[in-house]
Amino acid sequence: MSIPSETIQKIQQLRQQIEQHNYNYYVLDSPTVSDAVFDHLFRELAALEEKHPELITPDSPTQRVGASALSTFKEVRHRSPMLSLNNAFDEQAVSEFDRRMREGLEADIVTYAVEPKLDGAAISLIYEEGRLVQAATRGDGTTGEDVTENIRTVRIIPLKLSGTTIPSFLEVRGEIHMRKADFIRLNQKQAEKGEKIFANARNAAAGSLRQLDSRMTAQRPLSFFAYAVGELEGLPAPTTHDDMIDFLRQLKIPVCPERNLVQGLKGLLEYYQKMGDSRAQLPYDMDGVVYKVNDLKQQTKMGFVARAPRFALAHKFPAEEAITLVEDITIQVGRTGALTPVARLKPVFVGGVTVTNATLHNEDEVHRKDVRVGDTVRVRRAGDVIPEVAGVMIENRPSRTQVFAMPQQCPVCGSNVLRLENESVTRCINGLYCPAQRKGAIMHFASRRAMNIDGLGEKLIAQLINKKIITTAADLYDLKVSTLTALERMAEKSAHNIIDAIEKSKRTTLARFIYALGIRNVGEATAKDLAAFFGSLDCLINADITQLEGIPEVGPIVAKNIAAFFSESHHREFIDHIRASGISWEEGPQHIPHTLPLSGKTFVLTGTLQKMSRDTAKEEIEKAGGKVTGSVSKKTDYVVLGVDPGSKLEKAKTLGLTILDEEDFSALLK
């Protein structure tokens, strides 16, 4: 049965009305109808769509309530990188920026687009033929996470563009944030429900954006301002950044009302001062302002450096400070075993959040600032995020305070700690057993270049640790299929595959096993040197520092780390346990690596090898005493040529180096 045309027209009319009211309320902050009228329109549309579900479209206002929970986010590769900005913290750096722009553009004065630097989470929105089809987080700048379902619930973001001229493709870049008043109300609701209180609006916004259940995101009061266009197709592009932002505003995409145009250095600094003065009164959090060359052709001319554009700069506000008392100094142990002193503070409000802890970084920093329990200190949020002690008010120090001393044993596991010369960090040396380091140690042990236990990922390791099934990597070899299938989301076939991978890893090499132990500063190359030199694990375990320093490429710091590692009784027990599990490798006589046939020879691999993988080729070269590097130079002895070689081949020819095809390479190895 066909749907009456008047019904179709009514649905389209209701959608347009509702989105216009959303725009008036969320973007213009000027509602034109009461909540009751808005709710009536929404219910009328929902009823018509329920009666005619075939007319429901993804951009309908009724689809903003969220969908079923995802198990994970898909990766999205950005068409062009989402770059970060270089930072300035004083007028001198801004003056240098303006000088570079004037000289690079050969201009007496430059026009800049200026805007607040919001404290939120960067997002990319893609519209095709005017409809929102994808939203992705910034991620690492190249690859982000697909959060489309979550973004659909953010009412300030249009699901369908408005206007007379709609581009065929548009990528909008902007900042998801949470207004101050909305953040306060959210925390009040969280407290009433007995749920987690968010530390600041930025964390609340970023956490809401990454909810696997978009219905949760729909309940969070997120906001958005666009600050750039990634790509535009189907329409002539504006010639300036300011015109581009105006174009977005015409499409009813929200943009920051506090943006402006200024001339030269004087204009930049005046805008910075103005925004700093009005910062507390603005409805959103900001941690600085952003300057951009306004002319887009001039932007292209200035180009990029590393991972940031040359034509833009973030001028950060000074960190906010407050005064409070140090009630205690405790030690945190990180996943790499680093001991970090932390000041436990009398709660104080700094930069919009209540601060109770502040990092003291390391022992030298505590002594440099002379922080003691009982001191009155100035606390600031560095970069408006991480609290730190800025200084001590010595005049307020009570009598008989004690100078801080770093503990000699790890506060988590009780093992000895070690601080090497020329290092500022003190570390727990019990990497395999210390609970603070346990997860990282097991992940490293199971990694591809170590014991290569396929399928044993971070989430599974975390489950095994949390349920106290394993405490060290040695316990992996006691696992049973029945134990794994009892875990969440673990099918029997997957459990069998993991047990098979664990069993397969029992046959390894001495070099891989040494690397898997996770001894500080002992990477793959050093592990191979140690295996080649000592021939057996027992010889390595019993070696003293003098013997260790006698190995090429092993200096005094690495030697001390190795000796300290094997001096720990827990580590020897671990090795005994794991050997008893059936792990084995070929051992040989102790010998010096430079007696090997390819000792001192440097190789570069280019192109795809047909008879072996690059990893295998590298292992074969190193087994024969050679070394593999990633770049061609005069010091390169051989360039091994695979299919589709890159620019390394041309450079090798230019330098007159020896080039081996795969047949020649195989013959050399034999």
List the catalytic residues.
117
* 253-257, long-range: CB < 8 A, 24+ apart: 253/157, 253/158, 253/161, 253/172, 253/226, 254/26, 254/27, 254/156, 254/157, 254/223, 254/224, 254/225, 254/226, 255/225, 255/226, 255/227, 256/115, 256/116, 256/118, 256/225, 256/227
519, 558 in Cβ contact below 8 A?
A: no
Over the range 475-496, which residues count as b (16 or more CB within 10 Å of their CB) and which as e?
A: bbbebebebbeeeeebeeebbe
224 beta partners: 176
Q: Is 355 left (phi over 0), alpha (psi -120 to 50) or beta?
A: beta
Give, as one character, the DSSP assignment of residue 478: G
Q: Look up tokens 């030690």; give the residue.
A: 331
CA–CA dist 426, 341 (Å, integer): 10
The SS3 of residue 439 is helix
- For residue 336, how many other CB atoms are within 10 A of its CB? 15
514, 540 in Cβ contact below 8 A?
A: yes
Q: Look up tokens 């369908």; give the residue.
A: 160
CA–CA dist 382, 384 (Å, integer): 5
The SS3 of residue 177 is strand
Q: Which amino acid is at 610?
A: Q
Residue 147 has, within 13 A of its CA and on its CB side, a CA count of 29
Over the range 550-573, which residues count as b (16 or more CB within 10 Å of their CB) and which as e?
A: ebeebeeebbbbbbbbbebebbee
DSSP character string of 541-577: HT--HHHHHTSTT--HHHHHHHHHHHH-HHHHHHHHH
Report angle CA 380, 384, 387 to the nearest 5 degrees.
40
CA–CA dist 419, 407 (Å, integer): 11
Neighbour-count burial of 357, counting CB atoms closer than 10 A to its CB (0-12 exposed, 13-18 middle, 19+ buried):
middle
Q: Look up tokens 């929200």; give the residue.
A: 254
CA–CA dist 162, 287 (Å, integer): 32
268, 110 in Cβ contact below 8 A?
A: no
- For residue 356, how many other CB atoms are within 10 A of its CB? 14
